[in-house]
Copies of this chain bind each other. A is one copy, B any other.
Amino acid sequence: MKYLHTMVRVTDVQASVRFYCEALGLRELSRQDYPQGRYTLVFLAAPGDEDAQVELTHNWDAQPYDGGRNFGHLAYAVDDIYAACERLAGHGVTILRPPRDGRMAFVRSPDNISIELLQKGAALAPAEPWKSMQNTGSW
C-alpha cells in the first residue's frame, strides 16, 4: 500500500499553479484537459519527492468551493522557513501564522486549503520581520 496524492479542487488553475508552484515551491508534473468531462487535472509534487503528489482538480463550470473542518492541512518540510515565507509573501500570499519560532508557518491556497510549513531539523534562530509579526485570520 502506498500514498499517492491528496486531491484538492481549484476554481482557477492559473492562480493555483502560481500559488502551489511559484510561491510555495512545488513542481508541475503533468496537466491534462478532459474537454468531454469539462475538467482539468494537474499533478504537483515537491522537487525530488515526486512520489507524494497533490492533484488539482479544476471543474470548468464550478462555483467557488466551500471549506470544511474535517480536513486540516497539507504539511511540507522546507530547508529554510524564512526563505519559503519570503517567497510566498513576495507572491502576495499572506503568512497567516508567521514563523516567529523559526519552526512553523501556515498559509492558505487561493481556495482556502491550509498549508503548514515546518523547518527541517532544528528551528532557526528567531529573526525579524517574522519574530514580531502577528497572526492573521485562521488556518
Contacts and interface: CB of A to CB of B under 8 A. Distances in A.
Interface of A: 1-9, 25-26, 45-49, 51-52, 55, 57, 65-79, 84, 111-113, 116, 118, 120
A36 B65 CA distance: 35
Copies of this chain in its oligomeric complex? 2
The prevalent SS among residues of A at the interface is strand
A8 B78 contact: no
Given A4-B77, A4-B118, A71 B69 contact: no
Contacts of A112: 70
Contacts of A73: 6-7
Contacts of A65: 68-70
B71 A55 contact: no
Given A1-B49, A1-B77, A77-B1, A111 B70 contact: yes
The 9 closest A-B CB pairs, nearest first, are A68-B68, A7-B72, A3-B52, A71-B71, A67-B68, A65-B70, A1-B46, A4-B75, A65-B69
Contacts of A55: 72, 75
